[in-house]
Structure 1
Amino acid sequence: MKTTTAATANPTVRTTTTTRTIVCVGMLAAISTILMLFEFPLPFIAPGFYELDFSEVPILIGAFALGPVAGVLTELVKILLNLVINGTNTAFVGEFANFVMGCAFVVPASVIYKRKKNRQHAMIGLVAGTVIMSVAAVFINALVLLPAYAKAFGMPVDAFVQMGTAINPAINGIWTFVLLAVAPFNLIKGVLVSVITVLLYKHISPILKGTR
């Protein structure tokens, strides 16, 4: 015999849950968009045009509390809000690439956490998300982002490589650039975002779930 939970059987409960999720997605996306305005470089790792921000923290918290789909939607709304505020100089290529990299971080982390909601699975998920995001960043930067930015600013891709060489002499081409600059940059970003998420999640998640 098929059983249903009270939330599944009661349309009012489903509507309330859906409404709460929509409100939370909008709120978290707005906070994330604001956090994108506060960026800082890691000049010892990558050229200054790579800037770290903590906009993924609210998205990760939302994905852990409300599920991977909510995380993807929040990521999408963040990108759209940023487009409204700042526009695009890469014909939306950069925004699409950033969306993909954000999802590469948020989705694996929240899917693993959803399977068993405890600290161990949260840590495994965050590590997996960090690694997958960093790998995705390597290929997306080499094949999509750097060529798009080179075209947008009317400069050769080798100009970016030379910026990387100034930081790390071992960088001598596009692939060494993404492996020795882009990958470490994203690994550091993933670690920092993960630490902040772990510290904040237990305090914020009850508000998102409506249990406080």
Structure 2
Amino acid sequence: MNNQQNKNLNKFIKISLLGAIAVVLMYFDFPIPFLPFPWLKIDLSDIPALMGAFAFGPMAGVVIELLKNLLILIVKGTGTGFVGEIANFIVGISLVAPAAWVYHRNKSKKTALLGMLLGTLCIEIVGIIANVYFLVPAYGMKMATDEIINYVTIGLVPFNGIKAIMVCSLTYVLYKKVSLAIFKVDSNFDRVEKRKLKSI
């Protein structure tokens, strides 16, 4: 029982630390130069959330996404009437949760890549639905139908796609290197190679 409590405490500490790292990364946001919507800014705070989700399960990723947005509100406040933080949370979990769900069904390099592909598709779909039906109206922006179509096609779709690719690529590289050292779990990214070595 004591051993289980230690494991849970260790997990809680690591999830909290990942949340804190994510908050720091939120300060380093930047726009994509060729997009005509300057408020669409990329930050890499979803990387700690995706790493935590890969290590501890989809719910851990959701907790990290929630934690970072609550912490940023405490330390920085909101300049968007909470709309920006809600958007960050919704879009973040739409990438992180599906990716981790697929990966945890059978941990391997293949399922990690498939999960991140699913997460990329989800972030595109959820991003469009959330913006058109909730976030844009909540922010007080009034757009005609053609303006919404323009915003989605040359704004949201490329923005979320680029963000997902950056987050997933960096997570894949980093998680492979630190999964055992920091999270004490085997990523199984090299499982095929291990089987080949055993058969030689």
State the TM-score, normalized to the length of structure 2. Answer: 0.86
Find the counterpart in structure 1 of residue 196 from structure 2.
none
Q: 1:73 to 1:37 in 2, by over 3 A?
A: same
Is there any run of 5+ residues in structure 2 with no aligned partner, and where? 187-200
Find the counterpart in structure 2 of residue 105 from structure 1.
95
Cα deviation for residue 90 of structure 1 reads 4.0
Contact preservation (8 Å) 1:63, 1:70? yes
Q: Name the SS of the counterpart of 1:173 in structure 2.
A: helix
Contact preservation (8 Å) 1:75, 1:102? yes
Find the counterpart in structure 2 of residue 198 from structure 1.
172
Q: Does 1:54 align with 2:44?
A: yes
1:86-101 alignment to 2 at 5 Å? 86-101=76-91
- Alignment partners' CA distance in 1, 2:44 and 2:115: 18
Contact preservation (8 Å) 1:142, 1:175? no
Q: Does 1:143 align with 2:147?
A: no
- Match 2:74 to one of 84, 87, 90: 84
- Alignment partners' CA distance in 2, 1:69 and 1:195: 21
Q: Does 1:177 align with 2:124?
A: no
Contact preservation (8 Å) 2:55, 2:185? no
- Alignment partners' CA distance in 2, 1:115 and 1:64: 11
- Alignment partners' CA distance in 1, 2:53 and 2:185: 17
Cα deviation for residue 193 of structure 1 reads 0.8
% identical equivalent positions: 37
Find the counterpart in structure 2 of residue 165 from structure 1.
none
1:1-212 alignment to 2 at 5 Å? 11-149=1-139, 151=140, 156-158=141-143, 172-210=146-184
Cα deviation for residue 17 of structure 1 reads 1.6
Cα deviation for residue 202 of structure 1 reads 1.7
- Alignment partners' CA distance in 1, 2:174 and 2:22: 15
Cα deviation for residue 211 of structure 1 reads 6.3
- The code of the aligned residue for 2:128 comes to V
- The code of the aligned residue for 2:142 comes to V
Q: 1:62 to 1:84 in 2, by over 3 A?
A: same
Q: Could you say what the CA RMSD is over the residues aligned between the two structures, in angstroms?
A: 2.0
Is there any run of 5+ residues in structure 1 with no aligned partner, and where? 1-10, 162-170
- Greater Rg by CA: 1
Contact preservation (8 Å) 1:63, 1:69? yes
- Alignment partners' CA distance in 1, 2:182 and 2:119: 22
Q: Name the SS of the counterpart of 2:146 in structure 1.
A: coil
Cα deviation for residue 46 of structure 1 reads 4.2
Comparing 92-101 and 185-194, the one that deviates more? 92-101
- Alignment partners' CA distance in 1, 2:56 and 2:36: 34
Deviations 1:173-197 (A, max 9, x none): 2133123311110011001111101
State the TM-score, normalized to the length of structure 1. Answer: 0.81
Cα deviation for residue 12 of structure 1 reads 1.8
Deviations 1:106-139 (A, max 9, x none): 0000000001111110000001001101111111
- The code of the aligned residue for 1:175 comes to I
